[in-house]
Each structure stands twice: as structure tokens, then as C-alpha cells.
């Protein structure tokens, strides 16, 4: 396994001040052509990991290898990694053409070759007519496409992207997400992508490493990350999530009994401590059924609707349940379906497989 990986982080640690570790023991193997995202809140160490891979930050401990060659002591300009920055980093004193030609000139390609590749690259991102403009004359989305083209033009095998879409508005961002994904698959490049936006990570990545506090909480493909979060942090960071605090009463193979207030809940034992310690139950809002009949689901509980929030395609009900009044349930807005009213008391139910007992 290890021999096949293209990029590998092995026991990597990083400290800026010699006292605190920003990155604590980071391990990651990336295969050729893979799109891997490092996802996490700001200050979680994800950008630091990217910068260490790019060579702009030194590695305090451990080893980073590209193509099985340790790169710890190789200068950034010798690593041959394409990079896209959040603020685009287009050189403001050069035209778009000159910006794109820069990495090729550095490589001393023949003039005709440079011209051809610049034109091809501009066509690739549909910006052919902007060749002679200055970066300041382009919109944010156009700048980002130029930055992308510039990072790809010298055909690097590895491209790093540091929150490249952070400065764009929502619609443009979604459009660019598809464009980046399409380009990366089309050109067969390996991408390491850093973002704090979970939807961005879910839609683009082959695998996602969720960072928190300098540690990778979970490394998995998008659907596993959403469906099977391993820690309470991942469950709450990826998608919406209801959390119920409880005490473990009994463990039954894959499942466990948890006391939440005065109720007993049957949950999937994912990441729990021994009996009688506390746990956090994680239930996705769309997996809770309103008006469930007793016996229909593993768990059945009375609740009171506190509020109905209208979201167009779906409704959200905020429930008071087992002493917790922030319990959200998602309902599809179907025609002819009478919306429940706030203030009514109802029964809710959910399956034990959708209720994951995680670390406290």
C-alpha cells in the first residue's frame, strides 16, 4: 500500500513556537490522480499541512514524500507542484498572458511553444479574449480561472489548492467546483485541496481528511464521512446533526443502550467508552420520523413541536424532546401534506442504525 502512494505524510508534526503543536502526528497517503480534501475549521492545521507539502513551511518532525522521495529539504521551486491561492496571487504588473507564460519562461521553453500553450490554456478555461488584460480588469471568477490555468500550465503532477473559492459568491463557487473537478479528472492530476466549506469538500473530493485541533479526526470518502461519522466533531462538522447527551447503560454487541434523561435509547455503538461513561448520540434530522407508531422504529419518544421553519423545498421542525429543545427534524415539503402546527405534541421515532453513539 505504502509503496503505491504518490504523496505521503508520515508522522508529520509542526510547531511554530516550540511549545505548541499546530499539527500533531499527521499521516496521509495519497494515490496518483486522487482528489483529497483537507477539511476543518480555521486554525485546525490543514493549511499548515498544505504549506509543508508545498515547501513554504518547514517540517518540525516526520517526513513528507512525493513519489517516494523525501522532500523535507527540497526548496519549493524545485518540487514542481502547482499551487492555487485563495487571493489568486496573479502578478498585478503582468498581463494574463504574461502570468500564464511565467512558469513556462522559468522553464526556458521555446517562445513558440510558450505561445501555443498559453493559448491552449486560456481556451481551456474559456478566457481566450482576455489574454492582453491586466488581472485588475477581471472579475473574481475570471481571476480564479486564470490562477487555476497558471497552476496547471506547466503540467505538474500534483496541484495544491488553498481555499481557492473562498472569495467567490455562492453561485460562482458551485460552478467553479464542477470546473475544478472536471479539469482534475480530465488531466489526471493529483489534487490536494484545503477548505473549511463542507459542501465543497463533499461534492469535489475522492477522500476527505477532517482536521480539528491539529489531528485528523476521520479520513474517509464523502458518503462514509456523512453516513458514518466516527467522532462527535465530524458528525457535527459535516452536515446537520442532532446531539443527545446520555449515559451508557449496557452494551449489546454492535448496539448499546443509552439513558437520555428518563428515556432509554438504542444506538449503534461506534466510538464509545466502557459502560456507565457518557456518550453523545448523533442523529441526522432527515432520519427522524414524525408521527411514528409505537414499535415501528427501534426508538420511540414523545416530543412537542416548538417551531416550524419554512425552507421552500423542505420544512424544519424544532422539537422539545427528552429535555432538549434544539432537536431538529427535516420534513420534505410534499403537496397535499398537512404541515404540523407549532405547539402540538407528537411522537417521533428513529432506527437504532441511524443513531450513532460517539465520544462525549
The site for another protein (CB under 8 A) is made up of: 54-56, 75-83, 85, 87, 89, 91-93, 102-103, 106-107, 150-151, 154, 160
Q: Minimum distance from CB of 151 to another protein (Å)?
A: 8
Q: C-beta of 210: minimal distance to another protein in Å? A: 25
Compare residues 100 and 234 and give the one whose CB is closer to another protein.
Answer: 100
Instruction: Tell me the CB-side half-sphere exposure of residue 263, using CA atoms within 13 A.
Output: 19
Give me the least distance between CB of 25 and another protein, in Å please: 26
164-182 b/e with 16+ CB inside 10 Å = b? bbeebeeebbeebbebbbe
Q: How far is the CB of 200 from another protein (least distance, A)?
A: 20
Helix (H) or strand (E) holding 27: strand 23-30
Q: How far is the CB of 246 from another protein (least distance, A)?
A: 40
Cα separation of 348 and 299, whole Å? Answer: 8
Which CB, 117 or 150, lies closer to another protein? 150
- In terms of Cβ atoms closer than 10 Å to its own Cβ (0-12, 13-18, 19+), residue 32 is middle
Which lies closer to another protein via its Cβ, residue 82 or residue 222?
82
Contacts 24+ apart (CB under 8 A), 178-186: 179/125, 179/145, 179/148, 180/148, 180/204, 181/35, 183/124, 183/148, 183/152, 184/35, 184/159, 185/35
Minimum CB distance to another protein, residue 280 (Å): 37
Q: Which residues pair with 216 in a beta bridge?
A: 211
Q: Are strands 207-212 and 35-39 parallel, antiparallel or unpaired?
A: parallel
Q: Helix, strand, coil shares of the chain as percentages rounded to 5?
A: 30, 35, 35
Which residues, in sequence order, are bridge partners of residue 36?
192, 207
Q: Name which of 30 and 329 has its Cβ closer to another protein.
A: 30
What phi, psi does 171 have (nearest 5°)? -65, -45
Closer CB to another protein, residue 312 or residue 336?
312
| CB-nearer residue toward another protein: 151 or 238 | 151
> How far is CA 281 from each of CA 31, 182, 259, rounded to the nearest angstrom?
34, 37, 10
Q: Which is nearer to another protein, 22 or 256 (CB)?
A: 22
Shortest CB 172 distance to another protein, Å: 21
- State how far the Cα of 288 lies from the Cα of 241, in Å rounded to an integer: 11
| Residue pair 330/250 in contact by the 8 Å Cβ criterion | no
Q: Shortest Cβ distance from residue 16 to another protein (Å)? A: 11
Radius of gyration of the chain measured on its C-alpha atoms: 25
Distance from the Cα of residue 159 to its chain's centroid = 17
Query: Of the two residues 91 and 178, which places its CB atom closer to another protein in the complex?
Result: 91
CB of residue 183 to another protein, shortest distance in Å: 18
**Beta carbon nearer to another protein, 150 or 284:** 150
Amino acid at each position: 500500500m505504502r509503496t503505491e502512494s504518490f504523496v505521503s505524510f508520515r508522522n508529520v508534526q509542526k510547531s511554530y513556537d516550540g511549545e505548541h503543536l499546530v499539527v500533531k502526528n499527521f499521516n496521509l497517503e495519497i494515490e496518483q490522480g486522487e482528489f483529497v480534501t483537507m477539511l476543518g475549521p480555521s486554525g485546525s492545521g490543514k493549511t499548515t499541512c498544505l504549506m509543508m507539502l508545498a515547501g513554504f513551511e518547514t517540517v518540525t518532525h516526520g517526513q513528507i514524500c512525493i513519489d517516494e522521495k523525501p522532500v523535507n529539504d527540497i526548496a519549493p521551486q524545485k518540487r514542481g507542484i502547482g499551487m492555487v491561492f485563495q487571493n489568486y496571487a496573479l502578478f498585478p504588473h503582468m498581463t494574463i498572458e504574461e502570468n500564464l507564460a511565467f512558469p513556462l519562461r522559468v522553464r526556458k521553453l521555446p517562445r513558440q511553444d510558450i505561445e501555443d500553450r498559453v493559448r491552449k490554456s486560456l481556451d481551456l478555461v474559456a478566457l481566450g479574449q482576455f489574454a492582453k488584460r491586466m488581472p485588475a480588469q477581471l472579475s473574481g471568477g475570471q481571476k480564479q480561472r486564470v490562477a487555476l490555468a497558471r497552476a496547471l500550465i506547466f503540467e505538474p503532477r500534483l496541484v495544491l489548492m488553498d481555499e481557492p473559492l473562498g472569495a467567490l459568491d455562492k453561485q460562482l463557487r458551485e460552478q467553479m467546483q464542477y470546473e475544478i473537478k472536471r479539469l482534475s479528472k480530465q488531466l489526471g492530476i493529483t489534487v490536494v485541496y484545503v477548505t473549511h466549506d463542507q459542501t465543497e469538500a463533499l461534492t469535489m473530493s475522492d477522500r476527505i481528511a477532517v482536521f480539528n485541533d491539529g489531528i485528523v479526526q476521520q479520513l474517509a470518502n464523502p458518503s462514509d464521512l456523512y453516513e458514518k461519522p466516527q467522532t462527535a466533531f465530524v458528525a457535527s462538522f459535516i452536515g446537520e446533526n442532532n446531539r443527545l447527551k446520555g449515559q451508557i447503560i449496557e452494551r449489546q454487541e454492535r448496539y448499546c443502550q443509552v439513558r437520555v434523561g428518563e428515556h432509554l435509547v438504542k444506538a449503534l455503538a461506534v466510538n464509545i467508552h466502557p459502560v456507565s461513561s457518557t456518550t453523545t448520540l448523533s442523529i441526522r434530522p432527515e432520519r427522524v420520523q414524525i408521527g411514528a407508531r409505537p414499535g415501528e422504529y427501534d426508538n420511540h419518544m414523545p416530543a412537542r413541536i416548538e417551531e416550524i421553519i419554512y425552507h421552500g423545498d423542505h420544512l424544519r421542525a424544532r422539537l422539545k424532546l427528552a429535555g432538549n429543545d434544539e432537536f431538529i427534524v427535516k420534513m420534505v415539503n410534499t403537496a397535499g401534506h398537512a404541515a404540523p402546527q407549532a405547539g402540538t405534541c407528537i411522537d417521533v421515532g428513529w432506527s437504532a442504525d441511524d443513531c450513532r453513539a460517539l465520544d462525549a
